[in-house]
Structure 1
C-alpha cells in the first residue's frame, strides 16, 4: 500500500469512473480538502493497454489484473450456464478508472426520456443533459445543442474507418433504416450511424476518467491515491459512517499485508466500487437485507433489502460471419500477431492507424417494424403496447458491426508491453491464425424485463458472491433476441464483403432448412430475398440465444435510487437510507435502464455526485 494519511475529509471506496470524476472535480476546486481514493487494482497511468483503443480486448485475459470476472450462478433460462460478468471494478481485479479504463470505448448515450422515467427530484433530463454536455469535448460535428465542447472527455470518430462498417451503413440505408447524422442527440431513436468513440482525435488515446480527471492534476496534494487495496467494510458510529477498514489486495500482490487498518473520514464516505462491488461492500458493512446479513454473521446497521437486488444489464448476443480475405479487420491484432501489433503501435505513436479504433464504428438502433412485430411472441407484444408504442424514441435493440472476431488467447511481449486476449470457448485455435477474416454483429437488448441479484456469501472480501443475472427469465427478452438475430443476419447477408456464416456462432438449423449456414466464394446477388424461417428454425434460434446470450457489461441498479418504501437504497442526494455521512456514486444507483452504453451515464453520475457533495459540505464547485 502507498503512504497515506490515516484521517482525511472524504474517502472514496473504489476508484472507478464516477469516483474519479467526483473526486477530481472536488479536488481541483477545494485546496483545503483532503480526499483519498482507495482502489483495489493497479494504477493505470500511461499503460499502453489502457490508452490504446485497439487493444481494448487485452484486458479480457482470464486471471488478469485489470478486470474482474464475476461468475454467475447456473440458470435454466441460459441452458444451465454459469456466465461471467467482466467489470473494471472492485474485488480481486480491476484498475484505477474502472470501466472507463477497460471498456470498448463506444460513444452511445441514452435518450432524454430515460432520465425522466426515473422520476427522482434533480435527476430529470433538464437537470442531467447539462451534465452530459459538461464532461464532453465533442469533435464530431460543431454547434450541436445537446453536445458539449469544452469538457475533459474527448469524443471523436476514429481516423480509421473499417470497410465492413461502411458496408453495414450502406446496407442499412438500402433496407430502409435511415442514416442519422446524430443518433446520439438524446431524442432520436430508430436509425443507423457511425459510432463515435471516447478517443482524443489528435493523440488517438482512450479517454478514461483517471487520466482526464485525476492524472491531469497529479501535483495536487489535496488528492491521494491508495491502489491495490481492498476495503473490507465501512465503519460506523451508530449509523454514522466514520471511516473504512482496509487490507492489501493479495490478488494483486500475494505478499500484501492482510492485517486490517483503519482510515477515518472526517466528513464523508462515498462508496463507488461499481454495481457489483458497492453492493458487496455495503452488505459486508451491515447494510442490506438483515436476513441475508445474519446468514453471513454480520450485524445489521440498516435493514435495506434493496441492496444487491434489481441487478440489470444489457444482455447481448453475438453472431460471426466470414468476410473476404482481402478485407482489413482487427483479426490479426485479436490473434496476437506480433508484426500486426508492432505495426499498429508504430502508427499509433502519431495518433494514426488501426489501433486508434476499437473496430466497432458503425451500428444501429432498432425497433421492430409492424410486419416484424406481428411475428414476435405475445409476451413482447404486451411490452410493446405498454412501453415502446407510447415512446417512439426508445428502441429495443442496439446492434453493432464489429470488424473482426472475438478474442483468441495469447499473451505476448510487444514493445515491452504484455498483451493478452480472452479465449472464446467456441473458437478453434487455427481460425484466426489461418488468415481468415471475420465480422461480428453484437445485439444488445436495451430495456430487458429480467432482473437478477448479487449477495455476499461471507464477510470475507475474497469470497465469491451469490450472483444471478436473471437473463432471459422473461420470455419477452427472448423474443427480442430472436427477432434481432433475424434482422441483423439479413443486413450482414447483403454486405459486399459477406462470405457466409461461421457455423459455430450461429444456430444449429435443420440440415434442409433455408436458414442453414453457408460458406461462399463471393457476395450474394442483389436479388437475394429474406430468409423465410420455419417454426423449427425459430426454435433453433431460441436455443442459440439461450446458449449464447451473455452480459452487455453495462451492469446497474443494485443500490437503486428510489423511495425507500419502493425498495430504494439511496435518496435523490445519493445518501444511503438510514445512515449519515454515507453516499453511493456509481451505476449501482441507477433506477432503470438506459438506451445506450453506460459510460456516459457513469460520467454524469460522477458529475452529479460532485455537485451534491459540494452542496452538502459547503464546498466550492465551479
Structure 2
C-alpha cells in the first residue's frame, strides 16, 4: 500500500463528490481527498455562461457515452455525462426540480428507513439559497438558485393556458406537484453565471489544509481485503492512473466513497470485484462480493416532443438557436451588459409536471383498468432479469398508485419558444420561421436496463469504452401506452388553452389515433440525461447494492453516494435530488467516522 494515506477517499469529483468534500472536510481532523477523471473547467466561459450549456455536449467535459442499440427505438442514443470537476452539474441545463413527496416516500417503502420526505426535504434545503424575483432570499446553502416570475408573454400564456384547462400553478419546491411551474435554475443572480458543485461547494473550501483535490486522475479499482471479523471486505485504498499515466495507490484509513455517477459507479464496483460473479470471472476479475444487482435497475426518462408554428408577429428565440449573426450578437450584448437574454438562462424554465386527466373520467377508468392489466409481474413482457420479483412488484405498485391518483404527475413537460428537432432530419436541424416546442417526458418508467463493464483493462476506465449501457427503453409495454397518451394530451391542451392558442398559427391535430402516436414515439423518442438506479438503495434480497446508509453490501467501509443509489426514478430533472442525496450521505458518513 502507498505511504500516501487519507481518512476518506472520494472517487469522483462530480456533484455528489464535491458536496461530500465540503461537508466532510468541515472536521479538521479528517483528511479527505477527491480523485476526478476530468479537468477543472471552472474558468471556461462555456461552463459559466448559462445559455452556452448545449455547447458542452460532445466536448472534453463530456464522457459522451452511447447506449446499446434499442430494439424499440429508431435512433442512436447518446448519453452526455459530466467529465469535469463538478460532474454533470458542470454541463447540465440548470433546472432544479425536486421530486414529488410520493416518490421519496416510495423509496422509503422499499425498506430504506430514514428516507422519509421530511428528512429528504431538510437535506435538499440545506444545499441552496433561493433568490426570488422580488429580491427576497430563502435558505443559506452553497448552491445559488434563481427563481423568476412569469414575465414573457410565452411564460404567462403557458401558466394561464394550463389554468384554463383545470391545471393550476404549482410550487416547484413543495413536493406537491401537478401543475405548471417556472422552474428554479442553478444560476447565481449576482454574477449571472452557472452555480454548480465546483464554485458553490468546492471553491469556498479549496484552501482547507485537510482537503486535497486531484483532477485528470482515474480510479481503476478499490483495493479490497476480506479481513473483517464479519467476513465483510475492507476497503484499504484505491488504485488510480495519474495525469502522467502512471498507476499508483492511495490508502484509506476510514472509508472509500464512490461518487462517480450512475454509469461509472457500477463500473468502479465491478472493476474492484463487486458484481455478478459470472461476469467478473468471465473478465478475469477476482470476485470479492458476488452481487448480480450491481449495474442493474438502470432507469431514465424517455421523452419526445411536439412543435407548433408561432404567429409571425410574436417574438421567439429561433434566430438565436439558428445562430444567425445578428441574433447571436444581440444575445452576447444583452448578456454582457445587462445579464439578460437567451445567454442568461437555460431557456427551459417554463415547465409542468402533470397528471393525465383522461384517465380519471368514466371512460378513462376503463382504459386505465386495461392498462394496469399490463402490470402482471409474471408476464414475459414485464420481466427485467435479474430484477427480483419482490422489487418488480413494488415498482409496479408504485406506478399503479401514481396513475390512479388524479393529483400525482404522470409526465414532465418543458415548454420553449423555439424549434426543437424532435422529428427533424438530424439533431442539428433548425427550421426557418418561428415556433414553440414542448418536450414530453415519461416521469415514471417501468422499463429497466443495465450498465456493465465489458473489459477489465484499466486504460478503458477514463474513456467511454469497455462497458455496455442498455436502458431497454420501452421494454415494458405500459411505458409506450402512457407516453402516447401524454403526446395526445399535449396536442389537445395546445389546441384549446387560451391565451396560448392566440399566439399560434392554426394547427391540425396529428395524433387522434393512438397507434399513429406510438409509431411517432418509436421514431422520435430520445433518452433524457437523468440516469439512476444502478447501485440501488434497498435490501440486498430485493436487489439492492447499498443499504439505507449507502454502505455497499458485503463491505465494511465502502459506500456509494450519487444518483446511482436512487431506486425509483424521480419525477423530473434529478439535479435537486442528487444534492439532497449527497447532503444526506455526508451526514451518514460523519456519524460513523467521528
User: Which TM class, normalised by the smaller chain length?
Assistant: 0.7 to 0.9
| Aligned CA distance change for structure 1 residues 482 and 396 (closer, same or farther; 3 Å) | same
Give the Å deviation of 1:361: 2.2
| Aligned CA distance change for structure 1 residues 612 and 141 (closer, same or farther; 3 Å) | farther
Report the Cα distance in structure 2 between the residues aligned to 1:449 and 1:602, rounded to whole angstroms.
21
Report the Cα distance in structure 2 between the residues aligned to 1:339 and 1:497, rounded to whole angstroms.
30
1:470 correspondence with 2:472: yes
- Partner residue, 2:80: 86
Give the Å deviation of 1:607: 0.4
Encode CA deviations 1:480-517: one digit per residue, 9 max, x unaligned: 111111121233345789899xxxxxxxxxxxxxxxxx
Give the Å deviation of 1:183: 3.8
More off after superposition, 382-391 vs 313-322: 382-391
Q: Is the 8 A contact 2:532 2:565 kept in 1?
A: yes
RMSD: 3.0
Q: Is the 8 A contact 2:34 2:213 kept in 1?
A: yes
More off after superposition, 439-448 vs 274-283: 439-448
- Partner residue, 2:488: 486
Encode CA deviations 1:299-344: one digit per residue, 9 max, x unaligned: 1110011100000111111222332345443434433345544433
Q: What SS does structure 1 have at the residue aligned with 2:126?
A: helix
Give the Å deviation of 1:165: 2.8
| Aligned CA distance change for structure 1 residues 140 and 132 (closer, same or farther; 3 Å) | same
Q: Is the 8 A contact 1:50 1:206 kept in 2?
A: yes
Report the Cα distance in structure 2 between the residues aligned to 1:160 and 1:176, rounded to whole angstroms.
19
1:32 correspondence with 2:29: yes
Report the Cα distance in structure 1 between the residues aligned to 2:370 and 2:251, rounded to whole angstroms.
52
1:354 pairs with 331, 337, 342, which one? 342
- Partner residue, 2:309: 322
Q: What is the TM-score of this pair, normalised by structure 1?
A: 0.82
- Mapping for residues 71-150 of structure 1, pairs under 5 Å: 71-79=66-74, 81-88=75-82, 94-119=83-108, 120-140=112-132, 148-150=138-140
- Partner residue, 2:260: 273
1:172 correspondence with 2:170: no
| Aligned CA distance change for structure 1 residues 5 and 35 (closer, same or farther; 3 Å) | farther
1:290 pairs with 255, 273, 277, which one? 277
Give the Å deviation of 1:237: 2.5
Q: Is the 8 A contact 2:143 2:201 kept in 1?
A: no
- Mapping for residues 375-524 of structure 1, pairs under 5 Å: 376=367, 380-382=371-373, 386-388=400-402, 391-406=405-420, 426=426, 431-432=430-431, 434=432, 436-460=433-457, 461=461, 462=463, 463-494=465-496, 523-524=505-506
Gaps of 5+ in 1: 89-93, 249-255, 409-422, 501-520
1:67 correspondence with 2:62: yes
| Aligned CA distance change for structure 1 residues 341 and 10 (closer, same or farther; 3 Å) | farther
2:364 pairs with 373, 383, 387, which one? 373
Q: Is the 8 A contact 1:157 1:196 kept in 2?
A: yes
| Aligned CA distance change for structure 1 residues 375 and 77 (closer, same or farther; 3 Å) | farther
1:157 correspondence with 2:144: no
| Aligned CA distance change for structure 1 residues 373 and 196 (closer, same or farther; 3 Å) | farther
| Aligned CA distance change for structure 1 residues 279 and 148 (closer, same or farther; 3 Å) | farther
Q: What is the TM-score of this pair, normalised by structure 2?
A: 0.86
Encode CA deviations 1:466-486: one digit per residue, 9 max, x unaligned: 211121111111111111111
More off after superposition, 263-272 vs 273-282: 263-272
Report the Cα distance in structure 1 between the residues aligned to 2:421 and 2:10, rounded to whole angstroms.
34
The count of aligned residue pairs is 552
Give the Å deviation of 1:289: 0.5
- Partner residue, 2:378: none
Report the Cα distance in structure 2 between the residues aligned to 1:345 and 1:575, rounded to whole angstroms.
47
More off after superposition, 347-356 vs 487-496: 487-496
Report the Cα distance in structure 1 between the residues aligned to 2:193 and 2:150, rounded to whole angstroms.
13
- Partner residue, 2:389: none
Gaps of 5+ in 2: 227-232, 376-396
Q: Is the 8 A contact 1:163 1:327 kept in 2?
A: no
- Partner residue, 2:218: 230
Q: Is the 8 A contact 1:495 1:523 kept in 2?
A: no
Q: Compare the two structures and name the one with the higher helix fraction.
A: 2
